[in-house]
Structure 1
Amino acid sequence: MSDKSQPATCPAHAPSDHPKIKPAKVGILLTNLGTPDSTDYWPMRRYLSEFLSDKRVVDYPSWKWQPILQGIILSIRPFKSGAAYKSIWNNEANESPLLTITKQQTAAIKTKMEERYGDKVMVDFCMRYGNPSTKSKVREMVEAGCTRILFFPLYPHYAGATSATANDQFFRALMEEKWQPTARIVEPYFEEPSYIEALAQSIETAYAAAEKKPEKLICSYHGVPERYLHEGDPYHCQCQKTTRLLKERLGWDDTQIVTTFQSKFGPEEWLKPYTVEEVARLAKEEGVKNIAVCAPAFSADCIETLEEINEEIKESFEHAGGQDFTYVPCLNDSPAHIDALSGVIEKNLLGWLE
């Protein structure tokens, strides 16, 4: 994002040969998961290797996991993942939808922050995996005069494999700075009233536009191994609370809304019920013909929503006898979502900027 930096000057009362320093400002650095640079084999392989080598994502011992990853998995999976990305790729901009939407979110938040704080802030985004990297954006902010950085993982819920690894990468970037800025991390916002309101509005809009009113709403969250829950990760509980708060805001009862988990990977048991199996069960065993699916854990539409939910999970429901499948888009850069994210940022800037 462009930066309207003021020129660097010598500090007051400093000798004339003192290095020039830019006026201090606050950096607001948004971050999301990441994206491959293209759908071709080698960019996909690099991206998947970085992602699946992260100990926060796959915590098996390296001696056991890396030979499997670098051998069998990364010889085959880039072709499959590349094909999936091609089905949703933003060909006009030659980038993934996640990157397109994150740019749009950042631009909208930048406008709001500059309207409120003027040139005291610098707003930008980075990705945990791929480009633009966290390290490069921290470097840009420090060079622009940011002596304080608010780091905002765009995950409503905390999980070791999402929020924590994003924070890890941010801290690694700070370790390389000679003059290290003061830093704050935005905590998960899964129960923020404005976030729940934005979710509820998106559901109401989708239901109003549907030809047939869905009988059930499936809240499909990205899954993690069940073991993580027992090891202290709060993700499962936070997802359940989001569903409950959304249900209460919509004025529904328990029969109208279901919590599920998607994207299982590997041999372990993951959080259940699995979305792909649950939608089929609803159609087969309960005779449900019309459903809607939303993805509250994703701040922007991506491969897991546009391809997995709107293609694979939809297909599972229809093959089991379901008829009408409504996908409720992520909140993306909707005005209600931008207002919610901006409100969270403003709360976290208290004491730095008023």
Structure 2
Amino acid sequence: MSECPAHAPADHPKVPREKVGVLIANLGTPDDTSYWSMRRYLSEFLSDKRVIDYPKWQWQPILQGIVLSIRPFKSGAAYDSIWNKEADESPLMTITKQQVAKLTTGLHAKYGDDVMVDFCMRYGNPSTPSVVKKMVEAGCTKILFCPLYPQYAGATTATANDQFFRALMAEKWQPASRTLPPYFADDAYIDALAASVERAYAAADQEPDILICSYHGLPFRYLKEGDPYHCQCQKTTRLLKERLGWADDRIMTTFQSKFGPEEWLQPYTVEEVARQAEKGNKKIAVIAPAFSADCIETLEEINEEIKESFEHAGGEHFTYIPCLNDDDAHIAALMGKITENLKGWLD
């Protein structure tokens, strides 16, 4: 709804009613699984200095000449194996829409038309600048930017925030802004994780010998340079263990998705699941607490590649515990963090 400001002359341009924006952000997704769509997406992702911080002169010739000539075919096939054919979109896109729909319902019930909820992706579409522009044009004079990463990392939370701030630079009238802090130790988030584990264990034909908490990896060098991600992942696992009331040997932290020649955070999930099988833990469960929604790294990498590594080493029963996605407990946890960070703007 647009109207002339009070006390303004009759010919004053109409302006939209002021509201607060809540902008949900996730990593991103290609538009489809074709070579050129995958190449555009991977080029944007792998050109991000927060993700791969090698000098441009060193990295770009390798990326544009070698990596992007080959990897789009492999990545396209991986995406195709999990693609939501009915909606013609990636599972991450489908799940993000479901999350935003529930958050919109909850926030509108609490704040009415004073809040506008939308989502964007760091890479691909809908782009962060396009959605920020839409929110500003709709009358959002304040925006809470919410990267859905429980644990902070420069390559996830920080680069999402960077893109949000760059989008604000293009606005003549910038809205006031806040960013959602990481919530790796939030009680409601830990409770939601624990409930998902309990449901999976109750439904399993045979109880797993060990739960592997597999987090997306980072180069080990990033930890030495001050990135807190590794420590926050370890704390999430510890709090989950305590919430479940388990002994130390029933749960462990690992890291997946290693890329390039550097040493990354260890132990590597793909190697650790094989070690577990070889040492006699023939029944394992894997959960991915760093991912707010199932995506290529969980549906394809964990549930296919990592599962295959476990079974090849003699593992017998592999249980993948899905991400929290749009589970009501997860939405309630996110609602709690969002409303906490809207205080002073909306109460």
Please tell me the TM-score bracket, short chain as reference: over 0.9
Matched position secondary structure for 1:54 = coil
Show the counterpart of 1:322: 315
Counterparts of 2:316 and 2:90 in 1: how far apart (Å)? 30
Establish whether residue 43 from structure 1 lines up as the match of residue 45 from structure 2.
no
Show the counterpart of 1:201: 195
Q: CA RMSD in A?
A: 0.5
Matched position secondary structure for 1:27 = strand
Residue correspondence of structure 1 range 214-229 to structure 2 within 5 A: 214-229=208-223
Show the counterpart of 1:333: 326
Counterparts of 1:169 and 1:181 in 2: how far apart (Å)? 15
Counterparts of 2:91 and 2:270 in 1: how far apart (Å)? 23
Identify the match of residue 16 of structure 1 among 10, 16, 21.
10
Question: What's the TM-score, normalizing by structure 1?
Answer: 0.98
Show the counterpart of 2:229: 235
Deviation of 1:15 (Å):
1.4
Counterparts of 1:70 and 1:146 in 2: how far apart (Å)? 39
- The code of the aligned residue for 1:333 comes to D
Unaligned runs of 5+ in 2: none
Deviation of 1:16 (Å):
1.5
Identify the match of residue 343 of structure 1 among 336, 339, 345.
336
Show the counterpart of 1:3: none
Identify the match of residue 264 of structure 1 among 250, 258, 261.
258
- The code of the aligned residue for 1:84 comes to A
Deviation of 1:282 (Å):
1.0
Unaligned runs of 5+ in 1: 1-6
Counterparts of 1:120 and 1:135 in 2: how far apart (Å)? 22
Show the counterpart of 2:153: 159
Matched position secondary structure for 1:291 = strand
Q: Give the aligned length.
A: 347
Show the counterpart of 2:248: 254
Deviations 1:165-195 (A, max 9, x none): 0000000000000010000000001111000
Show the counterpart of 2:110: 116
- The code of the aligned residue for 1:41 comes to Y
Show the counterpart of 2:99: 105
Deviation of 1:236 (Å):
0.2
Identify the match of residue 212 of structure 1 among 181, 206, 213.
206
Identity of aligned residues (%): 76
Deviation of 1:23 (Å):
1.1
Matched position secondary structure for 1:149 = strand
Show the counterpart of 1:277: 271
Establish whether residue 141 from structure 1 lines up as the match of residue 103 from structure 2.
no
Question: What's the TM-score, normalizing by structure 2?
Answer: 1.00
Counterparts of 1:14 and 1:86 in 2: how far apart (Å)? 56
Counterparts of 1:131 and 1:117 in 2: how far apart (Å)? 28
